[in-house]
């Protein structure tokens, strides 16, 4: 429960309606009513659609403003976002300010005149803990001193594991390896412990203690055996002369994701040192394939960026280049369908989305793309069918709120969908 966050609100005197994470509503009501009232309490009746509105308002600024106008809250107490931390976040300037965070909760307040003094004193302007480590690195590039000052302020206030984790990476960025290690070792929170172990491995490696890095990577791959972790362990093992164990790790990484190109040169060199150069020919061919697939992914990434920038013609060219390199990529086919939809080329959009689904019948974004086309055509039964399939595949995604809204419209609400 967000007890420390509520004590912060007690200290600064913020009362009234609170935008809250769903499962905290009962505690807020029990602890603070009537001076603070949650907008949702799971113990009682919940209006249809309100739960999803609150869930997706975190990612949708327009929806958050609608809820604010409806409920009149000027403070939000929310949990750290789960899953993909790079999703859009509605609690950002200029309307909102982060004023408190610990290992459990983040507290945001609206930028209103009555709260200006609190924001000036307590507001965080440089660090964004909701974005975790991935969000920290760009901030450090923009102004490491300001970021670190705010992190240290948080540690002084909360002693949070999140704060120590971010401080460790800030010190690592500054090449202060011993200070980074000291900060990482103070991390205790479950949600931060894997990132802290990775930080410890990196700090030991960069200060020249590769054997120490190996110890941490071995612990990591026991619980988190991703291709990247296995590759890092394998690479570190080669640097301390343990090629036999390195090969085992690198092979696991390759088998887990044959498209992970960096593993192949390290693996081929290790086999060569072990006198097993006969493996090199097959690995070189697989490496070439992985590089080609990587180039295809890079062109698709550029296409998505160009689409966001409103340059559909350039985006189509990048997708087509990606598809020449990897013609059986359902993600690329679906994205091409999305662009065609934006251009009003509906027949071509349908063809690309259907081609994507032939390769991957459970590709949610292709079902969403088809539903959009069918909705525009007035084929409402088909639109509903694909919207419903999307929701079954991605019930908690960013677009799911939009899909539920679409399904509630009169043109779709009375229809029965079917996957047949």
Could you tell me the CATH number of the domain that includes residue 221? 1.25.40.10
Q: Check residue 47 and give its pLDDT.
A: 61
- For residues 172 and 269, membership in a common domain is answered with no
Task: Tell me the C-alpha distance between 314 and 303, whole Å.
Answer: 7
**Is residue 22 a part of any domain in this protein?**
yes
Task: Tell me the C-alpha distance between 86 and 326, whole Å.
Answer: 27
Domain count, the chain: 3
- For residues 30 and 99, membership in a common domain is answered with yes
Segments forming the whole domain that contains residue 238:
210-275
- Between strands 16-20 and 36-38, the pairing is parallel
Low-confidence ranges of the chain (pLDDT < 70): 42-52, 82-88, 398, 412-420
**Is residue 292 a part of any domain in this protein?**
no
Three-class SS state of 170: helix
Q: Check residue 406 and give its pLDDT.
A: 79
Residues 6+ away with beta carbon under 8 Å from 190: none
**Is residue 300 a part of any domain in this protein?**
no
Task: Tell me the C-alpha distance between 203 and 188, whole Å.
Answer: 18
* Mean pLDDT, rounded, of the chain: 89
Q: Check residue 232 and give its pLDDT.
A: 96
pTM metric for this prediction:
0.78
- For residues 232 and 141, membership in a common domain is answered with no
- For residues 7 and 116, membership in a common domain is answered with yes
Q: Check residue 416 and give its pLDDT.
A: 46
- For residues 9 and 117, membership in a common domain is answered with yes
Hey, which residues does 109 pair with through a beta bridge? 75, 97
Q: Check residue 46 and give its pLDDT.
A: 60
Element housing 77 (H / E): strand 75-79
- For residues 113 and 13, membership in a common domain is answered with yes
**Is residue 235 a part of any domain in this protein?**
yes
- For residues 103 and 67, membership in a common domain is answered with yes
- For residues 11 and 111, membership in a common domain is answered with yes
Task: Tell me the C-alpha distance between 395 and 82, whole Å.
Answer: 14
- For residues 243 and 162, membership in a common domain is answered with no
Contact assessment for residue 189 and residue 103, using Cβ atoms and an 8 Å cutoff: yes
- For residues 28 and 80, membership in a common domain is answered with yes
The answer, yes or no, to whether the previous bond of 34 is cis (omega within 30 of 0) is yes
Instruction: Provide the H-helix boundaries in 274-311.
Output: 280-308
**Is residue 345 a part of any domain in this protein?**
no
Of 236, 256, 275, the one marking the end of a domain is 275
- For residues 118 and 8, membership in a common domain is answered with yes
- For residues 195 and 233, membership in a common domain is answered with no
Q: Check residue 417 and give its pLDDT.
A: 47
Counting DSSP H helices and E strands in the chain, the numbers are 21, 5
Contact assessment for residue 404 and residue 394, using Cβ atoms and an 8 Å cutoff: no
Q: Check residue 42 and give its pLDDT.
A: 66
Instruction: Kindly write down the DSSP assignment for every residue of 15-49, as one continuous string.
Output: -EEEEE-GGGHHHHHHHHTTTEEES--TTS---TT
> Token pair of 151, please?
């992190």
Q: Check residue 324 and give its pLDDT.
A: 97
Q: Check residue 320 and give its pLDDT.
A: 97
Task: Tell me the C-alpha distance between 55 and 27, whole Å.
Answer: 18
Of 184, 208, 232, the one marking the end of a domain is 208
């Amino acid at each position: 429960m967000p007890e420390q966050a509520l004590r912060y609100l007690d200290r600064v005197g913020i009362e009234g309606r609170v935008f809250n994470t769903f499962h905290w509503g009962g505690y807020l009501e029990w602890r603070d009513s009537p001076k603070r009232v949650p907008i949702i309490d799971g113990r009682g009746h919940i209006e249809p659609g309100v739960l999803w509105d609150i869930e997706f308002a975190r990612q949708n600024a327009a929806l958050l403003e609608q809820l604010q106008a409806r409920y009149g809250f000027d403070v939000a107490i929310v949990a750290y976002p789960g899953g993909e931390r790079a999703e859009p976040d509605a609690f950002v300037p200029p309307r909102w300010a982060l004023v408190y965070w610990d290992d459990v909760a983040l507290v945001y307040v609206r930028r209103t005149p009555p709260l200006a003094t609190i924001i000036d004193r307590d507001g965080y302007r440089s660090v964004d803990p909701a974005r975790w480590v991935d969000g920290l690195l760009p901030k450090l590039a923009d102004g490491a001193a300001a970021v670190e000052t705010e992190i240290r302020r948080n540690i002084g206030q909360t002693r949070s594991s999140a704060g120590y984790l971010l401080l460790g990476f800030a010190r690592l960025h500054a090449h202060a390896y011993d200070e980074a290690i000291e900060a990482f070792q103070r991390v205790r929170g479950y949600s931060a412990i894997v990132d802290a172990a990775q930080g410890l491995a990196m700090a030991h490696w960069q200060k020249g203690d590769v054997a120490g890095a190996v110890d941490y990577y071995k612990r990591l791959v026991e619980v988190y055996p991703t291709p990247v972790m296995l590759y890092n362990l394998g690479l570190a093992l080669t640097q301390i002369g343990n090629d036999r164990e390195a090969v085992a790790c690198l092979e696991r990484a390759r088998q887990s994701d044959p498209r992970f190109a960096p593993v192949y040169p390290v693996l081929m060199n290790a086999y060569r040192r072990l006198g097993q150069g006969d493996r090199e020919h097959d690995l070189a061919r697989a490496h070439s394939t992985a590089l080609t697939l990587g180039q295809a992914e890079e062109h698709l990434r550029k296409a998505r960026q160009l689409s966001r920038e409103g340059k559909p013609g350039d985006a189509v060219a990048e997708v087509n280049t990606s598809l020449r390199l990897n013609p059986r990529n359902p993600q690329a086919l679906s994205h091409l369908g999305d662009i065609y939809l934006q251009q009003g080329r509906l027949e071509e959009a349908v063809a690309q989305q259907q081609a994507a689904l032939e390769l991957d019948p459970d590709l949610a974004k292709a079902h969403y793309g088809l539903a959009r086309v069918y909705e525009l055509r007035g084929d409402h039964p088909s639109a509903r069918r694909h919207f419903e399939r999307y929701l079954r595949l991605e019930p908690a995604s960013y677009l799911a709120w939009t899909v539920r809204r679409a399904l509630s419209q009169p043109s779709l609400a009375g229809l029965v969908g079917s996957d047949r």
